[in-house]
Structure formats: C-alpha cells, structure tokens
Amino acid sequence: MIACSHSKTPRARVAWIFLATGAFISVVLPASAQDKQSQEPATLPGCVDQVRSGGPGGTQERFFPLPLPKVKAAATEALQALEFEVKEKTNDLLEAHKARHMGLFVGSGGEKVVLSFREAEQNGQKGTMVTGKTKKSIIGIVGQKTWTSAVLAQTACVLQKDKQQ
Amino acid sequence: MIYRLSLAALAVFFAVGVSAQTRSVVDLTGPKLPARDKKCEIQFFDGKAPDSPHEIVGHIRVYISRDKLASRSETPVDRAKPEFRKRACRMGADAVVLVRQTVSNSGEFQTLYVKGDAIRFTK
C-alpha cells in the first residue's frame, strides 16, 4: 500500500494490484487449499498404512509374505500408478523416476525411488523383504517429496486387491 | 514494465493452471492388429471383463494431472475415456476394461491414474 501511494499513474497502480493479488495467491492459497494430508504423496483410498520406517527420508523396509516375483510385479504396478517410470536394473533391483510437472510455483516430480528385493523369512513365514529409498535431485528439490512410504503402502494395496480378485 | 510483467505472469498462471495435462502409455501384450478409425466406437467395462470370448491386446495407462491451485474440482474418471478411446482405436481393440485407478497428490499437483486392458472380441 505504501508503494501504491507512491505510484503516480493509474497503470502503475493496476500493476501493483496485480502483483499484490499474485503475492496473496502464492501465500494464502497453498496453505488453505491443501490440507496437510494432501501435501504428502497419497496412496489408494482405503489402504491401511503399515509402514515400518526408519524415518521419512531414510531407508525403509517392509516384509511381504509372498514370493519375490509377485511382490516385484506389485511394486512395479504401484510405482507406475504413482507416475514413476520404472527401470529394472537387476533381478532384485528396481529404479524409478517420477515424471516432472511444471507448476505455477514450485512444480513437482524428479524424485528417484530405488527398491531392492530379497527373499526373507519372518516369524517362520517365507516371503520377500523390500528395501526402499527416495533420492531427490537438486533441480526442483522444493517441490519434491519422499515417496518410499507411499510406494510400499501402494504395493501392499496392489497385492491385497489382486488377492481379492 | 511492471504492468507488462504482471500481465505475462497472470497469462502463465491461467495457461498452466487451467489446462489439465493428459498423457498415456501403452504396453502391447497380444497380437499386433491393424489400427481402426481414429474415432471408432469403444465399449467400456468397469472392473470386470465381459463374459463374451475375448483376448487382451494390451494395457493402457492414462495419467491426468491438474494444478490444484488453479483448478479446484477433482478429475472424474470419465475425463480419461477419450484418451483410452484414441489409444484403443489405434491398437485395433474393441473395448477397454478399466481395472485400476489411483489418485495421488504431490505438492500443488494431483494426478489421476487409470489403467485399462484393451481387449478384442474373438467371436
């Protein structure tokens, strides 16, 4: 408003109004339009998150009481559903890159998720242990998120849905 | 100068925000069929494949992303159907079975993912 009072021409005043509106949108809308939950990567509705994590940014592990090929296929499906392009590095390693989106303010995408699979046994039950980690890139880091929990939860959902069908 | 920059910023705001970005990926699994007409008729089945004999020609994955700051309304699944139709016609399929859908949120973006099996009736 102080700047506005110094503006001499109507054009300059209009310009300041535009800028003020832009600033208002950039500050107020992100906070009001998105609740906290929607700011984090979300899984399928109705899926229970049972993630055993070592911290949101760290390496996370999850055991699935199913054979490795089945779990790997479900993880691939989960990654694809979350808009990752999946590359199979080796038989027990998946690397996936999230598609980038140019946004109005920070955009999103560019994260890399690495999942490794190994046959394991837990409580006398044979299955597959999946270890995952999200790596963020320097470009666009502001809009990037940690996806490991979402991917593991989504994998569980896919396996659950396949079992129901 | 500021006036022009402000107008340009607003134009970018609306151009990026209002338009939802649609993209699709196709995985061919069955026989390669001749493409049908661009606007061919495609039947849609929700979740369950029809009882009539058919074979799966391929899988189609459609992603529709929208900027939540510019567009408040959720993207309905029907918005993905034109993209499915376009891809299915190109694959020579008769119908699409919508098998899976997911909505994911990341920052200011929300992405609707719909997966469908493109099928061809064998009788």
B63-79 per-position pLDDT tens digit? 998 888 777 777 788 88
Q: Please indicate, yes or no, if residue B42 is contained in any of the structural domains.
A: yes
Domain extent, residue A14, equals 2-33
Q: Who among B13, B67, B111 is closest to A83 (CB)?
A: B111
Q: Are residues A75 and A155 in the same domain?
A: yes
Q: Please indicate, yes or no, if residue A38 is contained in any of the structural domains.
A: no
**What CATH code is carried by the domain that includes residue B76?**
3.30.110.70
Q: Are residues A10 and A91 in the same domain?
A: no
Is the alpha carbon torsion for A14, A20, A24, A27 positive or negative?
positive
For A65-100, what is each residue's pLDDT tens digit?
999 999 999 999 999 998 899 998 788 999 999 888
Read off the DSSP letter of residue A142: G
ipTM score of complex: 0.77
Count Cβ atoms below 10 Å from residue A157 Cβ, excluding itself.
23
Q: Which residues of B touch A29 (CB under 8 A)?
A: 69
A127 — pLDDT class (breaks 50, 70, 90): very high
- Which residues is A101 bridged to in the sheet? A108
Q: Who among A15, A30, A42 is closest to B69 (CB)?
A: A30
- Output the average pLDDT for chain A: 74
Q: Are residues A9 and A87 in the same domain?
A: no
Q: Are residues A84 and A152 in the same domain?
A: yes
Q: Please indicate, yes or no, if residue B6 is contained in any of the structural domains.
A: no
Which amino acid is present at A99? A
Q: How many domains does chain A have?
A: 2
**What CATH code is carried by the domain that includes residue A88?**
3.30.310.80
Q: Are residues A88 and A148 in the same domain?
A: yes
* pLDDT digits (tens), chain B, 123 positions: 777 777 776 665 555 555 678 999 999 997 889 999 988 999 999 988 999 999 999 999 999 988 887 777 777 888 899 999 999 999 999 999 999 888 888 877 888 999 999 999 997
Q: Please indicate, yes or no, if residue B28 is contained in any of the structural domains.
A: yes
Q: Please indicate, yes or no, if residue A43 is contained in any of the structural domains.
A: no
Distance CA B33, CA B54 (A): 14
pLDDT for the residue numbered A162: 78
β-pairing verdict for B43-46 and B95-106: parallel
Which amino acid is present at A112? K
Q: How many domains does chain B have?
A: 1
Q: Are residues A15 and A95 in the same domain?
A: no
A19 — pLDDT class (breaks 50, 70, 90): low
Q: Please indicate, yes or no, if residue B91 is contained in any of the structural domains.
A: yes
Interface probe, candidates A101, A136, A144, A157, chain B, greatest B C-beta count within 10 A: A101
The C-alpha angle with vertex A87 and arms to A84 and A91, in degrees rounded to 5, equals 130
